[in-house]
Structure formats: C-alpha cells, structure tokens
Amino acid sequence: MKIQQVEELVGITKKNIRFYEHEGLLSPKRSENGYRDYTQEDVETLRKIKLLRSLSFPLEEIRRLQAGVLTMEDGARRHIIVLEREQASLEKAQCLCREMQEHGETLDTLDAGLYLEKMKHMEKEGAVFMDVKKQDHRRDYIAPAAASVIIVLFIGIVLFFMITESMKERLSTGEFLFIAAMAAMLLAVIVGVLLALWQRIKQIKGGEEDAASKY
C-alpha cells in the first residue's frame, strides 16, 4: 500500500513515517518502480511506535525493543521510573505556581531570585525543570551546506568553460543544441541540489513532531 493509505490507517503524518524510516525503526520494501510498498506488518509496526511515542518512550528505547535487546516488561518498568520522576518534578512546579498564585504575585512584584533559589534547592533533591539553555544547531547545517556549495561551484565552473569554449568558434545547429541541452541539464542539477539543501534544512529545523495530537 502507498504512504497516503498508511497515513490514514495509522494517523501518523507522512513526515513522521519517513522520519521513523530514516531512524531505522521502519523498513518498507520497494516495488519494481522504486516506490515504497507498505505492508500490514509495517502498519502494525507504526501503530506500536505511535503507542510508545504517545507514552513518551524515547526513540532509542523503541529501537532496543525492536532489536530484542530490551524486553517490553523491562522497558515499561524503566519508563515508569522516568514518568514517576517527571510527575514528582511537575508536582513541585505546581507547588511553586500555587505559591505565586496565593501570594498574589504580579510580574512587577515577582521575586524571581527567590523562586529560582527554591527551584535550585528542589533540583538538588532530584526535581528536573525545563532547561532554558538554547542549543546551537549551526553545526547541523555545515555538512549539507558545504556539500551543496562544492557541487554548485563544480557545475558552475563546467558551465562557464562550456559557454566560453562555445563562443570561441562557430557552432553548427546540432552542436549548439547539444551544448544548450547539456547546460540545461547542469542547471537542473543545480536547482535539484539547492532544493535538496532546502528540504534538509527544513528537516533539521522541524525534527520529529512529538505531540501525540499530531500523530
């Protein structure tokens, strides 16, 4: 079956289906014409992935479950511990919010230093709050951007020499059409490379859609 059918059956976006395939969690077969041909087994695999991701199982844990390195029983037990820690952290965050509410805090009167100190003390006791430090993703763009620049420069140089050489001598109609066709093909390759780079940048920015409502 095609990816559109799988999307309707499982309720996972095409973007996420391809993401899971890229991560090695799904391996659909290819038909003779090269298109992905999803089976009922692939659908069941995606349903299991959807369930586990909806329960916040990390991708690496799902990968280990699929490989048989981790049993479902052990995986569930480990995940319960993680969820209990998260629940305890959420309860502490609720306590701080409730305290701010009861004290009638406003943004102007809010003593951020006081509450940050309380959070710091809670973190020493095991609580985990949201990490507000921004990650620098610039390195993720270097490899695809560098490869694209090299390819575009190489093709540009080839195009330049083709055009300059063709201008040095009088060409027949057939030769002119051949060079024009080659130039058009090279330009098409440049456009394809730039489109691929754009898609890769979108993929890096987008990542996986984690929210269960988007599955």
Residues 142-164 have pLDDT tens digits of 777 788 888 888 888 888 887 78
Which of 146, 157, 158, 155 lies closest to 191, judged by CA? 155
pLDDT at site 206: 58
| Residue 18 near residue 24, CB atoms below 8 Å | no
Residues 21-74 have pLDDT tens digits of 999 999 999 888 888 899 999 999 999 999 999 998 999 999 999 999 999 999
Rounded Cα–Cα distance for residues 9 and 163 (Å): 53
**Tokens, residue 162:** 């083709």
Rounded Cα–Cα distance for residues 192 and 196 (Å): 6
CA diameter of the chain? 88
Which of 39, 55, 52 lies closest to 6, judged by CA? 39
Residues 96-118 have pLDDT tens digits of 999 999 989 898 989 999 999 99
Element (H, E) at 172: none
C-alpha count within 13 angstroms, C-beta hemisphere, residue 152: 14
Share of the chain above pLDDT 70, in %: 88
What integer best gives the mean pLDDT of the chain? 83
